[in-house]
Amino acid sequence: MPHAEHEETCPEGDTLVVTKLYCSLKEQEQSVQILRETLAFGAYQQESAAEKFMCNYGLNPDYRYVLIREPLRMSGIGPDGEARIVELHDHPFYVVTLFVPQLTSTADRPHPLIVEFVRASSY
Residue 49, pLDDT above cutoff 90: yes
Instruction: State whether residue 52 is helix, strand or coil.
Output: strand
pTM (predicted TM-score): 0.88
The pLDDT, as a whole number, for residue 102 is 94
Q: Residue 25 — pLDDT band, cuts 50, 70, 90? A: confident
Please give the Cα distance from 77 to 8 (Å, whole number). Answer: 22
Q: Are 59 and 67 in contact (CB under 8 A)?
A: yes
Q: How many domains does the chain have?
A: 1
Interval 85-97 mean pLDDT: 91
Which are the contacts of 35, defined by CB distance < 8 A and separation ≥ 6?
41, 74, 75, 76, 77
Buried b (16+ CB within 10 A) or exposed e, 71-82: eebbbbbbeeeb
Q: What is the CATH number of the domain that holds 97?
A: 3.40.50.880
Interval 69-95 mean pLDDT: 90
Q: Residue 15 — pLDDT band, cuts 50, 70, 90? A: very high
Bridge-based pairing of strands 28-34 and 15-20 is unpaired
Q: Residue 8 — pLDDT band, cuts 50, 70, 90? A: very high
Interval 57-62 mean pLDDT: 89
DSSP string, 6-49: ETTT-TT-SEEEEEE-SS--TTEEEEEEEPSSSHHHHHH-SSEE
- Percent of the chain whose predicted confidence (pLDDT) is above 90: 69
What range defines the domain where residue 76 resides?
Answer: 4-121
